Chain A
Amino acid sequence: MGRFGLLVIVLTLSLASSMLAAQPASLTAQDSAWLNIFLRDYVRDSYPTGGRTVRYFARLVDLADDGKRQVIVYFTDQHSCASGGCTTLVLAHEGSSFRIVTSITIGWPPIRVLSIKTKGWHDLAIWVQGGGIQPGYEADLPFDGKTYPINPSMPPARRLLTKVPGEVVVPKGAEGVLLYQK
């Protein structure tokens, strides 16, 4: 193999590696098990029937592109949603459990991880509609160094006026899985 061929392989591997860092991914079986334990504990005392009707959709992301993974959880069951949308959690891995980075109160899919960054972390985008907000719009949630805005309809979240590139992490129509499998 010539020097050019080697260069092509190195460049291809490098490009694939950088794309993988930004790509949302499904959780491993181990992550899913840890997440399930964390979420059961999170909803146990506040949801009707201890959270047995809770459904959620989760995706693994790397918001800082540093190899440390976060999880975006979007709840999809009846009790987690209201006219403004459903609850979203941004979680950071801490050993075999998780820490809540942000709990986003309202909003609808699609939820995207944008290509732009603020304070080192990718911005998030979520659809805002309902509660008198008609028509809807896509809101940009910039990171402030510690957390994301909890309310996508209020500053520091802001309406996106142009389409910003990004990866969909929670698609429209996401149904999710039951927290307590039958």
Chain B
Amino acid sequence: MVVGWATRRETGFQNVNEKDGAGVGVGVFQITVSPTSGVTAAQAGNLTWAANYAGNLLSSNMSYLGNKFPNFRPDQLLQATAASYNMNPYNPKNFTGNPNTIDDGTANGNYGSNVVQIMEHCF
């Protein structure tokens, strides 16, 4: 379900293809498309394929972050997982285990908490 809320933050469920600077975030889920990402623009633009890809990515990130930071409460793990959609979870400097700094490196410094807020407003 985090996929849907992250998508709301990314694109508002609009099909956005980045054209300036990077030019590599494609589709509703803003999946990175580059020669080294292993994802084609056609795949990223296919709603079903992209939703599955994003879901698997977040599931994998949640498992990784949960194992790395067992001190995280469930709500903190959810915030970190959401943040990992915007910021690579594997770089040792990005997530330090401090729940107060989960979003420090993300877009506008609030990605994970904002996605969780969007989730809470849906219920």
Interface residues of A (CB under 8 A from B): 42-43, 45-48, 55, 75-87, 100, 103, 105-106, 108-110, 127-136, 138, 150-151, 153-154, 172-173, 175-176
Residue of B nearest to A80 (CB): B88
| Interchain CA distance A81-B91 in the complex, whole Å | 10
Q: Given A84-B107, A132-B107, A132-B108, are A106 and B86 neighbors across the interface (CB < 8 Å)?
A: yes
Task: Say yes or no for B74: interface residue by CB 8 A criterion.
Answer: no
Instruction: Given A136-B20, A138-B21, check contact A106 B36 (CB 8 Å).
Output: no
Report whether B111 and A132 are in contact in the complex, using a CB–CB cutoff of 8 Å: yes
A83–B92 Cα distance when bound, in Å, is 18
CA distance A112 to B76 in the complex (A): 35
A133 to B109, CA, bound (A): 12
Q: With A77-B36, A105-B94 in contact, is A127–B10 under 8 Å at CB?
A: no
The contact string, 1 if C-beta is below 8 Å from chain A, for chain B 82-123, is 001111111111100000000011111101001000000000
Residues in chain B near residue A130, CB distance under 8 A = 10, 18, 22, 25, 30, 86, 107
Partner of B21, one of A76, A77, A129, A154: A129
Q: Total contacts A to B, CB within 8 angstroms? A: 146
- Are B22 and A136 closer than 8 Å at their CB atoms? yes
Docked-complex contact A108 and B24, CB < 8 angstroms: yes
CB of B42 to closest CB in A, whole Å: 17
Provide the residues of chain B in CB contact with A131, threshold 8 Å.
Answer: 9-10, 30, 86, 106-108, 111
Q: How far is the CA of A173 from the CA of B32 in the complex (A)?
A: 12
Q: How many residues of B contact A (CB 8 A)?
A: 42
The residue of chain A having its C-beta at the shortest distance from the C-beta of B16 within the complex is: A134
B121 to chain A, nearest CB (A): 15
Which chain B residue lies CB-closest to A151? B105
Contacting pair B86 A84 (CB below 8 A): yes
Interface assignment of B70: CB less than 8 Å from any CB of chain A:
no
Shortest distance in angstroms between B15's beta carbon and chain A's nearest beta carbon? Answer: 12
Closest B residue to A102 by CB, please name it.
Answer: B93
The residues of A that contact B23 with a CB separation of less than 8 Å are 172
- The answer to whether A109 and B86 touch (CB under 8 A), given A81-B32, A151-B106, is no
A127 to B21, CA, bound (A): 6
Enumerate chain A residues within 8 angstroms of B114, measured Cβ to Cβ.
132
B18 contacts across to A, CB distance below 8 A? 129-130, 134, 136
Q: Are B86 and A43 in contact (CB under 8 A)?
A: no
Which residues does chain A contribute within 8 Å of B85, judged by CB atoms? Answer: 82-83
Residues of A within 8 A of B89 (CB): 82
B34 contacts chain A at the CB level, 8 A cutoff: yes
Contact B21 A78 (CB under 8 A): no
* B37 lies within 8 A of chain A by Cβ: yes
